[in-house]
Chain A
Amino acid sequence: MSTLATARPANYLSVDPGVMSWLLTKDHKRIGILYLVSISVFFLVGAVSAAVIRLSLFTPEGALLHGQAYNKMFSLHGISMIFFFLIPSIPAVLGNFLLPLMIGARDVAFPRLNLLSWYIFVLGGASTLIAATTGGVDTGWTFYTPFSSIYSNTNVTLTAVGVFITGFSSILTGLNFLVTIHKMRAPGLSWSRLPLFVWAHYATSLIMILGTPVVAITLLMVGLERGLGIGLFDPALGGDPILFQHLFWFYSHPAVYIMILPSMGVVSEVIACFSRKRIFGYEFVAGSSLAIAVIGFFVWGHHMFVSGQSVYAGLVFSLLSFLVAIPSGVKVFNWTATLYKGSVAYHAPMLYALGFIGLFTIGGLTGLFLATLGTDVHLTDTYFVVAHFHYIMVGGAITGFMGGLHFWWPKITGWLYPEGWSRAAALLLFVGFNLTFFPQFILGYNGMLRRTYTYPPEFQVLNVMSTAGASILAVGYLIPVIYLLWSLRYGQAAGPNPWGATGLEWTAPSPPPPGNFEKIPVVTEEAYAYSTMETRRA
C-alpha cells in the first residue's frame, strides 16, 4: 500500500509505514484500522461457526454436529460475534477514526489509552481463541450459572477471562469518547451542532462506562467460583444463580444498544447526505439516543420472565421494555420524514441505510412480542427470539456497519469502490438476510427450540430455507471484502468529499494527514446544512 500512497500527499497511512510504527501508533485513525483488522478476524470466526451451525441444521437429526460439539459451536459463534465483533465494530473502528475528525480535533483525548485499549482487546481475544482451540466452551455466550460455574467441564474460565479482559478495552474506549466529545470540540461546535453520529457515540459511551464494569465483576466471580471455590452463585452454599442472570443482563441488555446506537448514528449521517436534507427533528433524533441508553438500563428483566423472578418485577420490566419502543420509533419516523421530498440517491451506503430501517423495524416490533409477558412465556428459548435479535444485530447493527464502512471508505483509504458491485452486494445481503432469518420467526412461533441440534422433521423445509439464505448471506459478505480490497489497488482517487456531504471529516483530505487538520476548523453552522450548501453551489 505504501508504494501507492507515495503518489499522494503525506497522510496517516504513508507517514512512517513500518510495522513498529503501526504497533506503537497513537493516531486514532491508525488505531481504528488496527481494530478493523482484528474484528475482521473475529467476524470470520463467528461467520464460519454460523455456517457450520446452519449446515448442521440442514437435516432434522443434525447433519454435522451433535451434543456438546454443537453447543461449543453456537457458543463460539455467540461469543466471538457479540463480544469481539459487534460491540467494538462501529465504535472502535469508525468511531475511533471519525469522532476526532467530526468534532474538529487532532486526536481523541487520551491517545495512549486508546492504543492500550486495542492491546487489551487483542489480549482478551487471544485468550478466548486459545480457549476455543484447546477444547472450546459450551455455555453459550450467556455463561449462565450454575452450569458455567460448577457443571461445565469445558474451558469456561479462560473464555470468561478473555471476555473480562476485553471488557476493559470497551470501558477505555467509552471513557475516551466521553471525554473527547466533552472537551475536544472545535470552536463553535456546540452540542446542538454535533453530528448525530457523535450523539449516538456519546450515548453508547455512557452504556460502556456504566454497564461493562458490572458484567466484568460478574464474570470475575464466575471465574473465582471455578478457580478458588469462592461460590457467590453456588446453590450448595445458598447462592442464587438467578442473581447471576440479573447482573449479567444488567450489562448485556444495554449491550444491545452498544451495538445498535452507533449503527443508528451511521444511518442518520447517510440518510441526510443522500436525501440532501437536514435530518428531520434533529433534536429528537439526538435525544432519542440518550433516551434509549437510559431506559435500556431498566429493562433487563425481560430476559428473565420465565427464570423465576417475581411476577410483579416481570410486570414492571415488561412495561419499561415497551417504553424503549418510543425513542426507537422516533428515530424511524424521523428518518422516513427526512426522505420525504428529499432528492434521494441510491448509492450503496444509502441502500444499507434503507435496509437498516426496514430490518430494524421488524426486529423492534418483534421485540414487543417478547416484551409482552404472556407471549414471551410461549416464545422464550425458541427460534422466534433468535430471529428477533438477529434482525437487530445483523439486520440492524451489521447492516449499519456495512453502510458506514462504505460511506467513509473513501475517507479512510482515499479510494473509491466500484459502484455497481457495491449496490449489488447490498441488495444481495438484504435478500440473503431475510431468507435466513424470516423463516426462523415461523419456526420459533411453531415451537422450534433454540440451541438444539435436532428438531422435528416437519420443521425441515423452513430450516433448509434458512440455510440456503445463509449461503446467499455469505456471498453478500464476501463480495464487499473482495472489491474493497480491490479498490486499494485499482480504485479511483476519492478526493476529500466524494458524496458532497456536510461534516468536518469531509473538509480534511482523503486520507487525512496525521494531525487531521492543517488549522483547527471553526464551526459556524448547524449539522447537515445541505440546503445552504446547495444554495452556495447554485
Chain B
Amino acid sequence: MPETHSEPHLQHHFVALEQQQEASTLGMWAFLITEIMFFGGLFTLFTAYVSAYSEAFAEGSRHLDLVLGAVNTVVLIGSSFTMAMAVRSAQLGKRKALLGFLALTTLLGCAFLGIKGIEYAHKFKQRLLPGPAFRVDSPASQHVQLFFSFYFAMTGLHALHMVVGVGLMTWLLFHGWRGRFTPTYFWPVELSGLYWHFVDIVWIFLFPVLYLVARHS
C-alpha cells in the first residue's frame, strides 16, 4: 500500500497505518495486563489478610464513608460512559462532541479525586491514618490498622492512576482541539479510553472489597 506512506501519522518503521494501529492496540492491552498483575499483588495480600482477620477488617470497613464511596462509584461509571461517547465521537469525526465528552470525562475524573480527598481528610481527622498516631477503640486495633494500610495503599495507588488518566484526557483535549483526530486516526482516543475503563474497573473491585465487605455481617 504505497499510498498510505503519505499518511502524516504513519511512523517510519511501520509499513502501513493499519499495522501501526494494531501494534498500539496490542501494546495497550499488554500494558493493562501488567497493571492487573500490579494491582493483583495487593488484592492477593488483601485476600490473605481478610480471611485471617475478618472481624477486624469488617470493623475497619465500617469506619469508611459508604455514601461518599457510592457517590464516587456513580461518578466513575458516569465518566466511563462519557469516555465511551468520546471514543464514538472521534470515530465519527465529530470534533465538537469529542471535545465535549472529553471535557466531561476530565471533570468527572477530577470530581472523583476531590471526593476522595474529602474522604482522606476525614480519615486523617479521625486518626485513622496508619502510623504512630493511629487510634481506634477496639481490642484488635492493630488489625484494624492493617485494614487501613490496605485502604490507603490501594485507593492511593488507584488515585495515582486517576491522576495519570486526567493527564491523558488533557493531552487528548489539546490534540482534539487542534483537530488531530480523524475517523482514520482516532486510536489514541480509543486506547486512552481502554486505560480509563481499566482504572474504572479497578475501582469497581475496590469499592465492594473495601466498603461493602462488612455490611452484611
Contact = CB atoms under 8 A, between A and B. Distances in A.
A213 B33 CA distance: 9
B149 A230 contact: yes
Nearest to A244: B45
Most chain A beta carbons < 10 A, residue from B15, B53, B143, B150: B15
B44 A247 contact: yes
B130 A231 contact: yes
A109 interface: yes
Interface string A61-91: 0000000000000000000000000000000
Nearest to A233: B45
A506 to B, nearest CB: 21
A143 B12 CA distance: 44
A15 interface: no
A183 B143 contact: no
A84 to B, nearest CB: 20
Q: Is the interface of A mostly helix, strand, loop or mixed?
A: helix
Contact of B30 (A178, A184, A221, A224): A178
B44 to A, nearest CB: 7
B52 interface: yes
B153 A232 contact: yes
Nearest to B56: A238
Task: Give the contact-size bracket for chain B.
Answer: 35 or more
Contact of B37 (A178, A213, A238, A520): A213
A478 interface: no
A182 B150 CA distance: 38
B34 A110 contact: no
A168 to B, nearest CB: 9
Given A231-B130, A240-B48, A111 B13 contact: yes
B150 A232 contact: yes
A106 B5 CA distance: 15
Interface stretch (B20-28, B86-94, B116-124, B208-216): B20-28
Interface string A468-493: 00000000000000000000000000
Interface in B41-60: 41-42, 44-45, 48-49, 52-53, 56
Contact of A213 (B11, B34, B149): B34
A216 B56 CA distance: 28
Given A105-B13, A216-B38, A237-B143, A229 B131 contact: yes
Contacts of B34: 171, 175, 209-210, 212-213
A108 B152 CA distance: 38
B80 interface: no
A175 B38 contact: no
Interface residues of A, number: 44
A225 to B, nearest CB: 8
Contacts of A239: 49, 146
A224 B157 CA distance: 12
B23 A184 contact: yes
B183 interface: no
Contact of A247 (B13, B33, B45, B132): B45
Interface in A158-197: 171, 175-176, 178-180, 182-184
Nearest to B39: A217
A145 to B, nearest CB: 12
Interface string A498-522: 0000000000000000010000100
A311 interface: no
Contact of A182 (B26, B49, B53): B26
Nearest to A240: B48
Nearest to A176: B27
Contacts of A376: none
The 4 A-B residue pairs with the shortest CB-CB distance, nearest first, are: A213-B38, A229-B131, A107-B13, A106-B13
